[in-house]
Amino acid sequence: MEKSIINKNIIIKGIGGFYYVKTADGIFETKPKGIFRNINIKPLAGDFVEIEEVNGDYVITEIHKRKNSFLRPPIANVDKVFIVISTVEPPPNYTVIDKMTAICIKKGIVPDIIITKTDLLKDDGVFGIYEKSGFSVTDINGENAYKEIIAMMKGGLSVFAGNTGVGKSTVLNRLFSHLNLETAKISRKLGRGRHTTRAVEIYDFEGGSVADTPGFSYIDTEREQPLYDDEIEHLFPEISPHIGKCRFNDCSHTSEIGCAVIEKVKSKEISESRYKSYCDIRKEAEGISRWEQND
Ligand SMILES: Nc1nc2c(ncn2[C@@H]2O[C@H](COP(=O)(O)OP(=O)(O)OP(=O)(O)O)[C@@H](O)[C@H]2O)c(=O)[nH]1
Ligand SMILES: [Mg+2]
Ligand SMILES: [Zn+2]
């Protein structure tokens, strides 16, 4: 992380219309200036901002240009993403996970995978799918897992993302015991009909910062975070090396004869589950055109 950034004011949490801004003089509760609402810009955790005092209240007057930003989870200026997947309670939702990996790669971040609850169910399938696809995968119950994760987190803002109940806050509590984040059994969560972690919050540690985020079980790649049909092949690290090797130049890798990608799926070099996600995302993308979006 560049030194200049450490001294900037940063939004560490936004909840109920208030934004908590960490500055050299402490943390301030702020509201955004009305202008941001008019131009449809919502401050995000991770935003570097300018604040001013107006009649005893603090307002955000400027949001600095973002390096990147995410809608799910809502956060800006991210350096690293950990996608947390549990083997059970809840079982992996491959469509959502693979949309998330694609969105991260589109934004220039290859996410790392953390697998939890392997003590409840040791599912080598999940591990194999992501390792084979070119991601770094850590089993949280493996030897040295926490040490390895800490080493990966150094030097920037890391984000823990994933479905509700997978154990994001639990892993962070194990890494940094002073955080004391709220965690809850999934049965309780379902009963209450909401997630345990209710807002993105950024915490500093020696050598970096980390965001705990509320879980999500759905990503809309059609409207909210569009992925266009001609870019999806580039967002799957196991598919992109085969681009240009198919019989047809404009091969969509979904049904064509002589498709190099389909060959690799048949020979099991590309995971069937990832390929299914590729086809599903591609199908969703058929409904959108770049003209409709200003992404
Ligand atoms: N057995 C087992 N339980 C785990 C593991 N990781 C998390 N849990 C449990 O799973 C439940 C959910 O964990 P949380 O940390 O609250 O999950 P979360 O991802 O932060 O959920 P949200 O905040 O709702 O998004 C808790 O009861 C944890 O104790 C694990 O590796 N093994
Ligand atoms: Mg949580
Ligand atoms: Zn093809």
Answer whether 12's CB lies under 8 Å from 45's CB.
yes
Residue whose CB lies within 8 A of the most ligand 1 atoms, among 120, 121, 123, 183, for a mutation test: 183
Q: Edge-to-edge strands of the sheet including 10-15? A: 49-54, 57-63, 26-32, 18-23, 10-15, 201-205, 208-212, 157-161, 80-86, 112-116, 137-139
Question: CA torsion sign, 97 to 99 to 103 to 106?
Answer: positive
pLDDT at 3 > cutoff 60? no
55 and 73 co-located in one domain = no
Range of the domain at 107: 69-212
| Cα 279 to middle of ligand 2, angstroms | 31
| Cα 176 to middle of ligand 1, angstroms | 15
Q: Which ligand is nearest to the CA of 196?
A: 1
Answer whether 227's CB lies under 8 Å from 235's CB.
yes
Instruction: Quote the CA–CA distance of 173 and 182 in Å, as a whole number.
Output: 9
Largest CA distance in the chain: 69
Q: Is the residue at 106 inside a domain?
A: yes
Q: Which two tokens stand for residue 266?
A: 């048949």
Q: Is the residue at 218 inside a domain?
A: no
Q: Is the residue at 279 inside a domain?
A: yes
53 and 117 co-located in one domain = no
Total domains in the fold of the chain: 3
Question: CA torsion sign, 243 to 240 to 101 to 80?
Answer: negative
Please give the pLDDT value at position 80: 98
78 and 208 co-located in one domain = yes
Please give the pLDDT value at position 5: 40
Q: Determine the Cα angle at 126 with ends 76 and 143, to 5°.
A: 85
| Cα 197 to middle of ligand 2, angstroms | 4
Q: Is the residue at 31 inside a domain?
A: yes
Pocket of ligand 1 (CB under 6 A): 116-117, 119-120, 140, 164-170, 183-186, 189, 195-197, 214-215
Q: What is the pLDDT of residues 125-136, one digit of tens each?
A: 999 999 999 999
Which parts of 64-111 are beta strand (E)? 69-70, 75-76, 80-86
Confidence band for 4, pLDDT divided at 50, 70 and 90: very low
49 and 130 co-located in one domain = no
CATH number at residue 269: 1.10.40.50
Residue whose CB lies within 8 A of the most ligand 1 atoms, among 122, 170, 218, for a mutation test: 170
Q: Is the residue at 59 inside a domain?
A: yes
19 and 81 co-located in one domain = no
168 and 146 co-located in one domain = yes
Q: Is the residue at 122 inside a domain?
A: yes
21 and 53 co-located in one domain = yes
286 and 263 co-located in one domain = yes
DSSP state, residue 202: E
Going by C-alpha positions, the residue among 234, 235, 257, 262 that lies closest to residue 247 is 257
Average pLDDT score over the chain: 91
169 and 101 co-located in one domain = yes
CATH number at residue 89: 3.40.50.300
